[in-house]
Structure formats: structure tokens, C-alpha cells
Amino acid sequence: MKRTIVVLAAVIAVVALSGGTAFGQGGQGSGMLPQWVNDSWRDAQYPPSEWYVGYAVDAVGSAKLSDVQKRAEQSAKQKLAEGISVRIQSVSSTHTSSVRTTDGKNASETVKKDYGQQILASTDAEVAKVELTTFHDQANNRFYALAKVRKSDLAAYYVSRIDYYQQNAENDFKLAKQFADSDKKRSAMEKIADAKKNIGECGKYNELLSAVDYKDTKRLVDKGAALLRDLAAFETKLNESSSIFVGGREILNEKDVSIVIPAIQSMLSESGCRVADKREESNFILTVDVRDCEKSASGAFFYVYACVKADVYNVKTGKSDAKLNFTAPKAGWTNEERAGKKAFEEAATALWKEVRDKTELCK
């Protein structure tokens, strides 16, 4: 599938800077410029098939010498990174598709990989193991800077970053399974999200590996894709295994009502739990008992408290994960009946908070 990518503004992140910095001074008319200022010498010494090179010259003028040196070094490193970015643009066009979005003055590029991963692509080139050399030519009052890095060193660095994030994802996946085995769905889902985020971090390094002609990039991409598929399957299974049946009784003004149970069912669904219609088809059973337990009046206002008992039963373990017994915050209204309904609504909110705090049924 032919795909295209739009190059964004260059931002260069240089990490793990290694190699010494050579600083020399040429005398007035001495002709002592280093060989690397010569274009043909650089091309022969650092062939593009093996190296990325950035070269810059900056006039000193009236600026501080240290500032000019930094400026020349930064320019050399930027030109080196731009070479990688251009290569990314070329390689990406053969195996990515992109959608460009614009919001005012801000533009972004979303690139979709074959295995479904979404990454942000730009000309940002994370460059490691750069060797930097500078030279001050006093005769002409200029600063020369040379930044260079072997493609093989870059490839090794990018592979190490992919390995790092994929290993983190695998560790997160293992923890997710352990939490799931302990019926801690919320923790399991959080670890699944962490694993996906780690795999997402591999995207830019896959692009950079392609840019440096690394031959085994597909293996690393396929490994990430396989892990994403496993995570998706596990997440689906986890959601299906968290079916909850909610039942019980609500008594308000000595009458059966249905206020708390429907509210709890909605809260469970919104939080990623599957509410079961039949008790025998559920993995958890939440049994509630809600009653108006105290009433009072003050002037034109009526106040009602709701007392709540609840039990969260784990079908798999045959034990209760939580037993709850509390009085919900009081509710008041000018009408006694309405005050009672508001008290039960308060009870539903309070019960959901207790279930969330003391169990991990949902996300």
C-alpha cells in the first residue's frame, strides 16, 4: 500500500552524547584548518552508506566565542538530524498511511501502521552516540563544527529502546494477568493501558530504524503487533468475565421502590462492567438492602436518611469480596416523598463509592 507522510518542523533531541570534542586554533594565515572542513575529504572519510554527518560554519563577529561555538555545534547536530528525517520521509512513504489535521496554526500528523498502532510522526530525530568536533579559525574568525555518528551505532541504540519498551509492555501484561486472576479488574485494565502505551513508544524508533537501513525492523514491528493483538484479546475476555448481577430490596415509606438498584446498574455499565440479567449467569452478585431509617422535619423542610446494607459475592471464590453497612448522607426537601427519593439517590451514590473503593469489579 503506497502511503505518504508530511514532514513537520524539526526538533532535535540529542541523547547519550559520546566522543570527545576537539578544539583547535589556527594562527593568522597559518593554513592549519583541519582536513574535515573539506567537503570531499568528509565524503571519503565518512561515506553516507555508513555515517550521518552534519557540518556547520559560523562567523564569530562581535558575539561571545562560547556562544558562537554552541551555535555552530547546534547547527551541525541539526543538519545531521535533518539527514535522518529526510530519510524517514522517504522510507515512510512506502509503508505508512497518514492523516493530517490542522487546528488554527497547529498541524499534526497521525500515522497508522499496518498493525493498527497510532503514532505521531514528524522530523524529530532522536540522535545518540554523536561525536562532535569543533575548530576555531582565528585567521578568519570563524567556528567550524562537525557532528557525526555511525548508522550501526544509531541502529543499536534504537533497537535497545524498542527492546526496553517492549519488555516493559510484556511485564505490564504479566501483571495484568496476575491482577485478573485475583479479580482486580481495575488494576488489570490499568496495566493493559500501560502496556499499550509502552508499545506506542516503539513507533518512532521503528521509523528511525528504517531510516538507518536496519534489516531486522520488520521482526520488531511484528513482535509489537503480536503483543497488541494479545492485549486486545485479553481485554475483551476480561470485560466479558466481569458480569455482575444486582438485586435486593428497597423500602421507602413502607413500600417497595426501585431507585438505588437501577442507578447502580447504570454506574456499573458506565465503568466498564457488564450487568447480567440473570443471577446464574453472573460472575459477581451485588445484593443490596436499602431502607429509610430516620426522618425529621424543620419548618417547611423534611429530612430523610437511608440505611444501606450490601454484599459483593464472588461466584468463582464462593466468598464475599465486600460487606457494606452504612448510613447515606441525609437529604431534604419541602415534600416528604421527594425528600425520601433524594435520600435514596444519595444512597446510590454512596454505595457506588463504597463498591469502587473496596472492590475492583470495573475499570
Locate the domains of the chain by residue range.
12-150, 155-240, 243-358
| Cα–chain center distance at 283 | 31
pLDDT reported for residue 300: 87
Most confident of 86-95, 140-149, 207-216: 140-149
Amino acid at 16: A
Can you read off the three cell numbers belonging to residue 350?
Answer: 454512596
Nearest by Cα to 354 from 332, 324, 327? 324
Can you read off the three cell numbers belonging to residue 33?
Answer: 584548518
- Strands of the sheet containing 25-26, edge to edge, are 25-26, 131-137, 142-150, 51-59
| Contact of 139 with 26, CB cutoff 8 Å | yes
Which tops the pLDDT comparison, 95 or 302? 302
Q: How far apart are CA 263 and CA 271, in angstroms?
A: 13
**Which CATH number fits the domain 12-150, given the four candidates 1.10.3470, 3.10.450, 3.40.630, 3.10.129?**
3.10.129
Region 126-132: mean pLDDT is: 82
Full-model pTM: 0.60
- Number of H helices and number of E strands within the chain? 7, 16
| Contact of 275 with 262, CB cutoff 8 Å | no
Which of 86-90, 95-99, 256-260, 342-346 shows the lowest per-residue confidence on average (mean pLDDT)? 95-99
Residue 276 has a CB neighbour count (10 Å cut-off) of 18
Nearest by Cα to 126 from 211, 210, 14? 14
pLDDT reported for residue 65: 85
pLDDT reported for residue 264: 94
Judging by DSSP bridges, how do beta strands 51-59 and 301-314 pair with one another?
unpaired
pLDDT reported for residue 122: 32
CA separation, residue 241 to residues 61, 170, 233 (Å): 72, 22, 12
Residue 304 has pLDDT above 70, yes or no: yes
Q: What percent of the chain has pLDDT over 70?
A: 79
**Angle at CA 237, nearest 5°, toward 247 and 195?**
120
Quick: pLDDT tens for 21-75.
Answer: 444 433 333 458 899 999 999 999 999 889 989 999 988 877 788 888 989 998 9
Output the average pLDDT for the chain.
79
Q: What is the DSSP string of 261-305?
A: HHHHHHHHHHTTPEEPSSGGG-SEEEEEEEEEEEEEEETTEEEEE
Max Cα distance, the chain (Å)? 106
pLDDT reported for residue 231: 94
Confidence at 118, pLDDT banded by 50, 70, 90: very low
Q: How far apart are CA 181 and CA 195, in angstroms?
A: 18
Region 123-143: mean pLDDT is: 80
pLDDT reported for residue 59: 86
Q: How far apart are CA 159 and CA 350, in angstroms?
A: 50
Which fold is adopted by the domain 243-358? Rossmann fold (3.40.50)
Q: What is the DSSP string of 78-97?
A: HHHHHHHHHHHHHHHTTT-E
Q: How far does the chain reach from its first CA to its final CA, in angstroms?
A: 37
CA separation, residue 125 to residues 86, 109, 298, 346, 349 (Å): 10, 15, 70, 54, 50
Q: What percent of the chain has pLDDT over 90?
A: 42
pLDDT reported for residue 88: 58
Confidence at 115, pLDDT banded by 50, 70, 90: very low
Q: Is 58 exposed, middle or buried (0-12, 13-18, 19+ CB in 10 A)?
A: buried
Quick: pLDDT tens for 165-206.
Answer: 999 999 999 999 998 887 788 888 899 999 999 999 998 888
Q: How far apart are CA 337 and CA 266, in angstroms?
A: 23
